Amino acid sequence: MTPAIELDQLTVQLGGRPILKGLTAGLGSRTLGLLGPNGAGKTTLLHTLLGFFPVSSGTARVFGHDIRTGTAAIRRVVGYMPENDSFIAEMSAVRFVRLMAELSGLPPAQALERAHEALFWVGLGEERYRPLGSYSLGMKQQAKLAQAIVHGPKLLILDEPTNGLDPPHRVRMIELIRDIRERGDMVLILSSHLLRDVEESCEEVLVLKDGAIAAQCDLAAERRAQQRLVEVEVGGEREAFVEAVARLGGECAAGMRQRIKVLLPEGLGVAELFRVAAERGVQLRRVEVKRTSLEEIFLAAMGEIDGRL
């Protein structure tokens, strides 16, 4: 199946300085988390996909549309929630969301109906006639989400959707994002500096560093693999235990103080480690299923920790 977004040696220069440097990737998951430190190129990548920045070389495709020639077609199927506010303060939320729906191609009557539906869905049904300038930060973020989904896009781009939100509003925003993911009718890109938001919401992660791809990770596959990575501490003949596990197809890496990291093959469970240890007369003093967090994946991509087994 063709990925929803394809990056093909995508290079962007702004002011003569390279910002994106030959990005190549196929982004096929329903929910993609875009991570990276400030200045890594996250927002530039999003703006390039939307046609705001010209491509210096290479290209990208969104649902098969080349971003160099198909900007209009791409924008018809994309909803965009920007990081910064872009409101007319005196306008009511329902008028604003209706306007954005009409700009996306909906006829006026349908645009108004969809505006009411979107605002009720994000939790602003009772506040939809208030001027946007009177909204709290959390309500403004909800209004931005409403205008991004009102026309029923195929691709939804969220740039820092929880930025500055207090805990209750953050939880509400993450719940809305998860609802969109579970509905399954949109591909979602979430750009955030908050690892927790991405870990809770996304199936795939793309990490940028200095305008290049530092890591691409399928979180679902990573979580399945983590169920097979075990760290044990043994008492007795460590080499005999390692040799026996290797015969069963396991991979071992010895650590300090009788500790061993074991990558179990498919079909081999933790119980087998206890059986092998008993047969070899080895004590298992500690057994811990390794859980690699998104923070560890991110730091490994940044070169700040060793991400190997």
Looking up residue 214, the CATH number of its domain turns out to be: 3.40.50.300
Give the pLDDT score at 43.
Answer: 93
Decide if 149 is inside a domain. no
Q: How far is CA 177 from CA 2, 31, 183, 200, in A?
A: 24, 10, 10, 10
Give the pLDDT score at 1.
Answer: 62
The alpha carbon torsion through 87, 81, 107, 62 (nearest 10 deg) reads: 150
Looking up residue 232, the CATH number of its domain turns out to be: 3.30.70.100
Give the pLDDT score at 309.
Answer: 40
Count H helices and E strands in the chain, helices first.
11, 14
213 and 240 within one domain:
no
64 and 11 within one domain:
yes
236 and 197 within one domain:
no
Q: How many domains does the chain have?
A: 3
Q: Tell me 92's DSSP state.
A: B
Mean predicted lDDT score pLDDT of the chain: 89
233 and 209 within one domain:
no
Residue 294: band (very low, low, confident or very high) from pLDDT cuts 50, 70, 90: confident
- Counting Cβ atoms within 10 Å, is residue 222 exposed (0-12), middle (13-18) or buried (19+)? middle
Among 36, 277, 67, 252, which Cα is nearest to 159's? 36
Tokens 């390692």 belong to 242
- Choice among 9-18, 101-110, 274-283 with the minimum mean pLDDT: 274-283
191 and 64 within one domain:
yes
What pTM, to 2 d.p., does this model score? 0.78
234, 285 contact by CB (below 8 A)? yes
Strand order in the sheet with 229-235: 251-254, 259-263, 229-235, 283-289
274 and 233 within one domain:
yes
160 and 65 within one domain:
yes
262 and 206 within one domain:
no
Distance CA 16, CA 283 (A): 63
Tens digits of residue pLDDT in 239-293: 888 888 888 888 888 888 788 888 888 777 888 889 888 988 888 888 877 666 6
CB atoms within 10 A of CB 134: 12
**Does residue 306 register a pLDDT over 60?**
no
190, 34 contact by CB (below 8 A)? yes
Tens digits of residue pLDDT in 118-160: 999 999 999 999 999 999 999 999 999 999 999 999 999 999 9
32, 204 contact by CB (below 8 A)? yes
Decide if 20 is inside a domain. yes
277 and 189 within one domain:
no
Q: Please give the backbone phi and psi of residue 114, each rounded to the nearest 5 degrees, phi first.
A: -70, -30
Which 3 state secondary structure label does DSSP give 22?
A: strand
Distance CA 180, CA 156 (A): 9
Give the pLDDT score at 308.
Answer: 41
Among 61, 32, 303, 302, which Cα is nearest to 192's? 32
Q: Please, what sign has the CA dihedral across residues 174, 82, 160, 77?
A: positive
Decide if 132 is inside a domain. yes
Give the pLDDT score at 304.
Answer: 61
163 and 44 within one domain:
yes
Q: Tell me 133's DSSP state.
A: G
Decide if 176 is inside a domain. yes
Tens digits of residue pLDDT in 193-226: 888 899 889 989 999 999 999 999 888 777 665 5
Tens digits of residue pLDDT in 49-76: 999 999 999 999 999 999 999 999 999 9
Decide if 135 is inside a domain. yes
Give the pLDDT score at 299.
Answer: 76
Q: Which domain holds residue 135?
A: 90-143
In the chain, the percentage of residues whose pLDDT exceeds 70 is: 94
Decide if 44 is inside a domain. yes
Give the pLDDT score at 227.
Answer: 56
191 and 68 within one domain:
yes
